[in-house]
Amino acid sequence: MASSSPISSTSAQLTAIERLGWDFHSFFRVEYPEKNKTQIGRVRKSYGRREYVCLHCSTRWSKGYTSNAITHAQNRHRQLIQASETSQNPQQSTQPSIDSYITFQPSDSALRNVFNAQRYIVAIVGLLTRRRVPFSSVTWDEMKSLALACNPAIEDCLITSRDQAMKIINANYGLYASQLRDLIQGSQSMIHISTDLWTSPHRHAMLAGCAQWVDYNYALRKALLGLPECPFSHSGEAQAALIVEVLRNFDILREALTAALNATISDESVDMVDHFAATLAETISQQEEPVLQGKRPKSTAKASQKTGINEDYTGWQGVPALQKLHNLAVWLRSSSLHSDSWRDAVGLSLGIDNATRWSSWYKVIDNAIRKCQILR
C-alpha cells in the first residue's frame, strides 16, 4: 500500500529499520516513480509505490521492499555495514577508529547513480516554460557550474544546447498531451470548448483553446488544449479552422459546445500597410535623407550660426519623415493584423520608437532605411 507522505512508512517497515545496527538511510535512497500521477478512480494525487535505490552500487539497484533492501546491503556491502556499526557503537573500543580520520569520498559511479536525470529535466523544462527563463540559459557557464556544484560527475548528462532543450520540451508536451487525451476520452459529459484571442507582447495573435468537461469521477475538469497562432485574419472562419485542428489532435469526435470570443465579423482590410510604406519610402528618399544621414538643412544651419540655438527645432515632431515613421510604428502595434501583414511584406520588424532613448529611434530608422527598396 502506497504511503501518503514521503517520510512515512508502515509500522512493520519502521520496526525492521529500527532494529538494524547500522543507518539504513545512508545505504538507500527512497524514490517514488509514480509521484504526482492521478490513479484511475482517484481524484487526489498520491506518491504511489516506493523504491529503495542503493547508493553504493556502481550500477543501479532498486527494490520496492525493505526486506529485500536489507538483504542486499548485508550480502553486497558487509564491510560498509561493519564500519557503520563500529562508528555507531564507540563503547566497544577505547581506541578511536581509523575510519574517523578518513574523509569519505564517493566514487564517480556512486555520484552518477544518485543523479536523478528525470527530476533534472523536469526542473529545466519548468524554468524555461513556466518561469520564463530565456532558452539561452542552458548555454550559460553559471548554469553548468551550478549543476556541477551539486554533483560533479554528471557533466555529460547536462542540457547544454537550445536544440536539445527544444527537443525535450516537445517530447514533454507530447507526453502530457497524450495523458490529457486519455482523460478527455473518459469524459462523462459533452466537452465545452471556449476560445479567446490573445496578443503577445511581440504583436503575435495567439488563439487559446480551452476545454471543460466532467471526468469519470464526475468532477469538473478544465485544461488548455492549444495555443496556435492566428495570423492575418481574426474572423470566425479562420478561428474555427484552428480550433478544428486542435480538436482533431485530441481525438474529440463527439459533439462539442463552442463559445468563441473576439471573432471579427469580417476580415479587416490591411491595405493601409502599402500606403504607409510607400509614403514613408518616398519621404525618406527624396526629402529627409540628409537629416537621417546627420546633415542639417541650410536654413537650420544659418539660424544656428546667428543665434547658436535653432528656435524652430522641436525635435522629431518637426521632422516629417520621423513623424510618419512614428505614426507607422504606432499603427503597426495597434493590431496584430497590421503586424502580421507588415512582417509578411517586409520580412523585418520595424521596432518600437521611444522618445527618451535614442537607441530605439536609431533602430527604427535603421530598419526603415535597410528596407527602403522594399518599401518603395
For residue 221, what pLDDT is reported?
A: 93
Average pLDDT for 152-178: 92
* Radius of gyration from C-alpha coordinates of the chain: 33
Amino acid found at 185: Q
What's CA 256's distance to the chain center, in Å? 30
At 374, the pLDDT band (50, 70, 90 cuts) reads: confident
Per-residue pLDDT at 218 exceeds 70: yes
Answer with the residue of higher pLDDT: 131 or 99. 131
Most trustworthy range by pLDDT among 30-44, 82-96, 329-343: 329-343
Q: Any idea how long the chain is?
A: 376
At 309, the pLDDT band (50, 70, 90 cuts) reads: very low
Q: Where are the alpha helices (DSSP H) in the chain?
A: 11-18, 66-76, 78-88, 108-114, 117-129, 141-150, 162-185, 236-249, 272-286, 289-292, 298-307, 320-333, 336-346, 358-370, 372-375
Kindly report the number of other CB atoms within 10 A of residue 354's CB atom: 13
Answer with the residue of higher pLDDT: 328 or 222. 222
C-alpha dist (Å) from residue 6 to 30, 40, 50: 8, 21, 9
* d(C-alpha 36, C-alpha 331), whole Å: 48
Which cell numbers in the block locate residue 209? 483553446
pLDDT in tens, 108-147: 888 888 899 999 999 999 999 889 899 999 999 999 999 9
> What residue segments make up the domains of the chain, in order of their start?
1-108, 115-185, 188-260, 272-375
At 223, the pLDDT band (50, 70, 90 cuts) reads: very high
User: Which residue pairs, CB below 8 angstroms and at least 24 apart, start in 34-39?
Assistant: 34/2
Least confident of 18-32, 56-70, 216-230: 18-32
Average pLDDT for 193-221: 88
Kindly report the number of other CB atoms within 10 A of residue 227's CB atom: 15
